[in-house]
Amino acid sequence: MLEALVGLLIFSFGVLGLVGLHGSMTKAQTMSRFRADAAALAGDLIGTMWADMPRVAMYDSATCDAHAPCKNWSDKVAAVLPAGQPNIAVNNGLVTITIAWTMPGEAVPNRYVTATAIR
């Protein structure tokens, strides 16, 4: 009888370990998806900027709200990522895109940064 109880206790710890592992895997998968979404959003904006080269300076965060394609993209970032906040810096054709988001239940924001030259 005692051996059966010890076996049940060991089995219970194993199941609890698997449940914890499943939770960790789900969190890592969600974080990975958000990083992939941020990279895709940044690539989307870079493609839009290449197609709109004469107005690249309008994509800077200071003037983004006045330029429809940039404003639409910024709204998309906020919709796709939790607490998503983009920042775009344009300096003589050098573009730096920073996308920050905060995972639910976490205080530290995540960031994705990419830079390219559009001339």
Collapse the DSSP code of 10 into the 3-class scheme (helix H, G, I; strand E, B; otherwise coil) and give the result: helix
Task: Give me the domain span that covers residue 24.
Answer: 2-117
| Residue 111 and residue 99 in contact, taking contact as beta carbons nearer than 8 Å | yes
Q: Is 111 left (phi over 0), alpha (psi -120 to 50) or beta?
A: beta
Per-residue pLDDT of the chain (119 residues; tens, 9 = 90+): 888 888 889 989 999 888 989 988 988 898 999 999 999 999 999 999 999 999 999 999 999 989 999 999 999 999 999 999 999 999 998 999 999 999 888 889 999 999 999 98
Number of structural domains in the chain? 1
Q: Scanning the structure block, which residue is given the tokens 């998503």?
A: 84
Q: In terms of pTM, does the model score above 0.95?
A: no
